[in-house]
Amino acid sequence: MAAINLRRLLAVKNNIIRLLLLKRRQKRLNRYKKRFSVRQIYAERKQKGEYHLLVKELMLHDQEYFFNCFRMSPTTFEQLLSWIGPLLQRATTKMREPIGPSERLCVCLRYLVTGDAQVTIAASYRISAAVVGRIINETCELLWNTLIEKGYVKHPSTENEWKVIAEEFETCWNFPHCVGAIDGKHVLMQAPGNSGSAYFNYKKTFSIVLMAVCNAKYKFTLVDIGDIGRQSDGSVYGCSHLGYAIENNLLNIPSESKLTNSEKVLPYVFIGDDAFGLKIHMMKPFPSQNLPLDQRVFNYRLSRARRVIENTFGIAASRFRIFRKPIIANVEKVILVTKAVVALHNFLMTINSSRDNYKYCPRTFMDEDGPSGLRAGEWRKDRNAVLGLQPISRTGSNNYSRDAASVRQGFKDYFVFEGAVEWQWELVSRTVIPYDAFLDRLTQPM
C-alpha cells in the first residue's frame, strides 16, 4: 500500500514539473511573439500614416503647403531624393517591407523644419520612435556627405576662390578684400549624460559651439561644429580649428594687394563684431560710441557687410526651427543635425534664385541696406527663431598689434576717401549710436 502511494506522489510531482516547464516555455514563446510583433498603429502606416495620407497628396495638389512643411518645392525634394534615395533604400525582408527613401527623407525634414519631438513624429507617421531616431541620424549624415560631394558645402581652397568671394563682398556690400564674415553661436541642447560640466557654458545652459564664415550671398563657406560649450568665450575662437587655421595662414588666402581705384596695399581680411580680437586678417569695429566721423564711417561699412553672417544664421534658424529651443538629443545627434541644416541651407540658397524655389529666401526675408536706409529682414520678426542659437560674447583680447591697427586705419581712410559711397555720409550722421545697436532698435517689437 505504501509503495502504491509513493508511486502516486511521484507521478503527481512529475506532472507538476511538466506543467511548470510548459508554462515557462509558453512565456518564452509569448515574449518572442511580443518582441517581433508590430503595434496595430504601425501596421496601418500605409493606410493612415502622414506620408501616405497627406504628404503624397501635397506633392501633387498643394505645392505651397508642401513648401511650408519641408522648406522646398516637390521638384527640389525629388532632386534631393535622387541623390540620397539609393543610399536610404533598405532591403525587403520576410518579416516586413522597409520604409521607403522618400518617407525617410520626409521624416528627417519634418524634424529639422518643425523641431517636433521624435515621439510626435512617430505618432504622425506611424513609425516607432526608435526607428524615427535612427532615420534622422542616418539621413542627416547622408545629407551632409552628399551635399559636400555635390559642392554645396565647399570651403575655398585656392586663391582664385577667395578672390571671387572678395569681389562679391565688394560688389554687394562695398567692402573690398573681405573673404568672409565670421560669427559663432552656442547650439543649445539638453544636458548630455555622463558629461559633467564639459558642455555647461557661461549662460548656464548646455551647448556645443558652431563657428562659421559666410560669403556675400548668405551661404556658409567655413564651419567648425562641435567644440564643447564649457570653453570660455575668450578661448572659443582661438581653440577652434577654424580660428587656428586663420591665425596660422593655413587657408591659402591671397597675399595683400591694391584696393580698387587706390594705391593702398592691404591684406585680405575676415570681418567680425566686437566679440573678436583685432588681427591683421580680422577686422572689427572701433569701440566706444562717441567716435569721430571717419571711425563711424568705418564702423558703418564694416557692420553693413558683417550683418551678412547674422542674416545667414537668422535665415537658417527661421527656416529650420529645430533651433527654436534646446535640442533634445545626445551630442553626436546635435552635431549631425547642425551639419544637416548647414548643408540644406546652402543647397536651398544656391537654387533659391530659380522661380521654383525663390520662396526659401525672398528678397524681403533678409536685411536690406542701401541709399534709402535700413530695412530689417522678415526673419527678425520671429524673435523666437534663434532662441536655441545663443551668441558667443568676447572671443579675443582687447590688445592688438600695431600692424593690425594699421590695417584697420588703412580701410578707414579708404572708406573716407577713394572708396567712399555718396550715401554713407547721411546715414552715418543720422546714426549717432553704434550701427548694430541702431539695427537692434529697429527690430524691437512695438
Closest of 213, 210, 214, 188 to residue 201, by C-alpha: 188
**What pLDDT score does 398 carry?**
67
**What pLDDT score does 397 carry?**
59
In residues, how long is the chain?
446
391 neighbors 185 (Cβ within 8 angstroms): yes
Domain residue ranges of the chain, discontinuous segments joined by + = 40-150, 159-431
Set of cell numbers at residue 14: 512529475
**What pLDDT score does 275 carry?**
84
274 neighbors 434 (Cβ within 8 angstroms): no
Cα 123 from Cα 296, distance rounded (Å): 55
**What pLDDT score does 354 carry?**
66
Low-confidence ranges of the chain (pLDDT < 50): 36, 438, 442, 445-446
First to last CA, the chain: 103
For 255-353, strand residue ranges (E) read 257-258, 265-266, 269-271, 282-283
335 neighbors 226 (Cβ within 8 angstroms): yes
Closest of 407, 439, 398 to residue 310, by C-alpha: 439
Q: 3-class SS at 265?
A: strand
